[in-house]
């Protein structure tokens, strides 16, 4: 498993016709993805409005995949008819190749990410995926608290890119964030009073049915987002 890598791809759509198509593929793409060689785990993901927001962003969808190795991922992106259809319909595509550094928790009962043994000492950037299923009785309290806990995020100059993603709006949510280095991430995670308080509330109330936290080393990127590559590797 030492060669396992993950990819996270974002797609952006403009026309109403293509947005409807992308929404439909949240269901119909499974038939293809279940049979992809070298694919260990995947999730088709919608996204939220700017920030970590429960309101859907119908123009952006994401595909998270965990691979046996980089060769399997390359074969998929270069030869898959499904990828070709996504590219034809979308106006922007951006893929990050990721090596896992640490993972805690489960996603849909699985532990998809395995720490990679071959991490580069010359790549300072770090990516983070957090994912949780929120208990129904805590939904209102959770979303009411989110704006306060997220405020320090936007004041951190080390944040390169972030997007709220998820499988089911409101209940099953995740965040992806990309940071210029470990120091920038630690400043937000461990020195922000609002974020520290949010962690304390999570532990006190136990408002998740399931949660996962994972850090990655981003070592390769393909494509761009809004005309800019958030990470030039």
Spatial distance between the Cα atoms of 142 and 29, rounded to a whole number of angstroms: 31
Q: Which of residues 214 and 228 earns the better pLDDT score? A: 214
> Which pLDDT value is given to residue 95?
96
> Which pLDDT value is given to residue 20?
97
Spatial distance between the Cα atoms of 130 and 83, rounded to a whole number of angstroms: 25
Q: Per-residue pLDDT averaged across 36-56, rounded?
A: 86
> Which pLDDT value is given to residue 178?
92
Burial status of residue 131 (CB atoms within 10 A of its CB: 0-12, 13-18, 19 or more): buried
> Which pLDDT value is given to residue 179?
92
Q: Per-residue pLDDT averaged across 158-166, rounded?
A: 88
Spatial distance between the Cα atoms of 47 and 210, rounded to a whole number of angstroms: 19
**Backbone conformation region of residue 227, classed left if phi is above 0, alpha if psi is from -120 to 50, else beta:** left
DSSP 119: -
Spatial distance between the Cα atoms of 95 and 7, rounded to a whole number of angstroms: 7
Q: Per-residue pLDDT averaged across 29-58, rounded?
A: 89
Q: Which of residues 189 and 204 earns the better pLDDT score? A: 189
Burial status of residue 121 (CB atoms within 10 A of its CB: 0-12, 13-18, 19 or more): exposed
Least confident window among 16-30, 114-128, 173-187: 173-187
Q: Which of residues 212 and 53 earns the better pLDDT score? A: 212
pLDDT tens figures, 109-122:
999 999 999 999 99
CA-based nearest residue to 169, from 50, 48, 51: 48
Binned at pLDDT 50, 70 and 90, residue 58 comes out as: very high
Element (H, E) at 26: helix 16-28
Mean pLDDT of the chain: 86
Look at residue 37 and tell me whether its pLDDT is greater than 60: yes
How far is the first Cα of the chain from the last one, in angstroms, to the nearest whole number?
24
Look at residue 195 and tell me whether its pLDDT is greater than 60: no
79-85: long-range contacts (C-beta < 8 A, 24 or more apart)?
80/32, 80/36, 81/32, 82/29, 82/32, 82/33
Q: Per-residue pLDDT averaged across 136-163, rounded?
A: 70
Burial status of residue 65 (CB atoms within 10 A of its CB: 0-12, 13-18, 19 or more): buried
Predicted TM-score (pTM) above 0.85? yes
Q: Per-residue pLDDT averaged across 160-183, rounded?
A: 85
Q: Per-residue pLDDT averaged across 42-47, rounded?
A: 96
């Amino acid at each position: 498993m030492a060669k396992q890598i993950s990819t996270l791809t974002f797609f952006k759509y403009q026309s109403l016709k293509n947005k409807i198509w992308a929404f439909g593929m949240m269901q119909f793409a499974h038939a293809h993805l279940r049979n992809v060689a070298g694919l260990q785990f995947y999730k088709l993901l919608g996204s939220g409005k700017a920030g970590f927001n429960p309101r859907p962003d119908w123009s952006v969808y994401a595909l998270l995949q965990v691979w046996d190795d980089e060769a399997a991922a390359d074969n998929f992106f270069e030869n898959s008819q499904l990828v070709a259809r996504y590219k034809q319909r979308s106006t922007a595509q951006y893929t990050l190749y990721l090596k896992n550094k640490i993972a805690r928790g489960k996603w849909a009962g699985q532990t998809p990410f395995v720490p990679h043994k071959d991490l580069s000492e010359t790549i300072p950037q770090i990516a983070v995926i957090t994912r949780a299923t929120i208990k129904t009785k805590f939904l209102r309290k959770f979303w009411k608290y989110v704006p306060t806990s997220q405020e320090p995020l936007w004041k951190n100059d080390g944040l390169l890119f972030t997007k709220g993603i998820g499988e089911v709006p409101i209940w099953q949510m995740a965040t992806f964030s990309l940071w210029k280095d470990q120091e920038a991430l630690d400043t937000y995670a461990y020195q922000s009073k609002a974020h520290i308080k949010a962690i304390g509330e999570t532990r006190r109330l136990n408002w998740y049915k399931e949660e996962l936290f994972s850090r990655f080393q981003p070592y390769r990127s393909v494509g761009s987002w809004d005309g800019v590559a958030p990470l030039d590797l």
